[in-house]
């Protein structure tokens, strides 16, 4: 089963009206390293397989932080639910997305006779198990991650909510925190930032058991996108507005090429972004489907 990519391009009226009679003659390329990470591919392929067979599948939270991809799957029968709806469901089948879930979700599913289709990313599952093992040793656990993020909630659940989550070292009181900690990170955070935080803690005399479980398929895109962005006159960064990874990588592109624009759908395209004969590069987040980048490429080529 492969993710659908044969989607026709119909330009929205606001984009169609920008085409004019004279073509800009743009050269448009897609970054071959952009698009879904393997964890997202795994989750969506599982969802599509079940939807083809059964026509209905519940998913706890957005299967991916990209509205266009979510809408595509909803047309196939995917229904996104939250925790309140989960608590009311019985005898159903529910997909666990790549972000993973805390133990409380599995407990509730068992109580309500819910069949879980677990598409948790293997990298996330490995991290959950390591945090759980560390917590059982009664160590102080600190997690570098985004407050309230689905993956972070799953990690926090391994400690019964007792780990400390922080987005910036400025949130920590370095004078009063334990003198020995175990440091973990959300899998999609920057390795550079993670190791910078580690150094700051050590410089403050804190003994740190460093656990680097950051996904390199995600973190390595930082370097690759800096190089990609410099090769083009204009960069179109395709991402859902809910994607944390997208926001970070968009800034990476913007720092390398000031003519970088965020695009979440075809309707966001603007002809005034381009000059005749320009080279345009299209790239995206780990939650951005290739079919959407291809739509953006085709629409841009026709301006």
pLDDT score recorded for residue 17: 55
What letter would DSSP give residue 114? P
- Bridge partners of 234, per DSSP, are 280
Domain boundaries 13-37+219-301, CATH class = alpha beta
> What is the side-by-side strand order in the sheet with 279-284?
27-30, 279-284, 234-238, 260-263
Query: According to CATH, what is the number of the domain 38-120?
Result: 3.40.50.11270
d(CA 60, CA 54): 18
- Are the C-beta atoms of residues 256 and 230 closer than 8 Å to each other? yes
Report the CATH fold assignment for 123-214.
Answer: Cobalt-precorrin-4 Transmethylase; domain 1 (3.40.1010)
What is the rounded average pLDDT of the residues 119-142? Answer: 94
6 falls in which pLDDT band (50, 70, 90)?
very low
Residue with tokens 């006779």: 113
Residues forming CATH 3.40.50.11270 domain(s) in the chain: 38-120
| pLDDT tier at 5, thresholds 50, 70, 90 | very low
Residue-wise pLDDT for 53-101, tens only, equals 999 999 999 999 999 999 999 999 999 999 999 999 999 999 999 999 9
Decide if pLDDT at 252 tops 90: yes
What is the β-pairing status of strands 57-60 and 27-30? Answer: unpaired
Q: pTM for the whole thing?
A: 0.84
| % of the chain exceeding 70 in pLDDT | 93
Q: Mind telling me the catalytic residues?
A: 151
d(CA 20, CA 216): 43
Cα–Cα distance between 219 and 98 in angstroms, integer? 17
**Could you give the residue range(s) of every CATH 3.40.1010.20 domain in the chain?**
13-37+219-301, 123-214
């Amino acid at each position: 089963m492969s993710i659908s990519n044969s989607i026709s391009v119909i330009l929205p009226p606001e984009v169609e009206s920008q085409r004019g009679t004279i073509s800009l003659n743009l050269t448009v390329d897609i970054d071959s390293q952009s698009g879904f990470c393997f964890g997202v591919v795994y989750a969506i392929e599982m969802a599509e397989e079940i939807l083809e067979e059964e026509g209905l599948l519940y998913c706890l939270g957005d299967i991916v932080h990209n509205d266009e991809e979510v809408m595509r799957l909803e047309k196939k029968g995917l229904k996104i639910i939250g925790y309140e709806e989960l608590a009311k469901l019985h005898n159903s089948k529910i997909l666990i997305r790549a972000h993973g879930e805390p133990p409380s979700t599995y407990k509730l599913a068992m109580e309500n006779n819910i069949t879980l289709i677990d598409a948790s990313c293997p990298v996330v599952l490995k991290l959950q198990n390591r945090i759980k093992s560390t917590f059982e040793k009664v160590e102080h656990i600190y997690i570098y991650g985004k407050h309230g993020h689905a993956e972070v909630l799953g990690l926090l659940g391994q400690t019964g909510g007792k780990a400390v989550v922080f987005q910036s070292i400025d949130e920590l009181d370095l004078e009063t925190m334990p003198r020995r900690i175990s440091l973990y990170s959300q899998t999609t955070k920057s390795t550079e930032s993670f190791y910078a935080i580690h150094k700051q803690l050590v410089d403050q005399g804190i003994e740190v058991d460093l656990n680097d479980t950051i996904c390199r398929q995600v973190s390595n895109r930082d370097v690759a996108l800096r190089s990609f962005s410099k090769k083009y006159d204009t960069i179109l960064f395709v991402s859902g507005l809910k994607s944390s990874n997208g926001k970070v990588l968009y800034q990476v592109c913007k720092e390398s090429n000031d003519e970088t624009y965020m695009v979440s759908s075809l309707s966001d395209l603007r002809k005034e972004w381009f000059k005749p004969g320009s080279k345009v590069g299209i790239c995206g987040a780990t939650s951005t489907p290739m079919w959407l980048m291809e739509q953006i490429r085709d629409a841009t080529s026709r301006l």
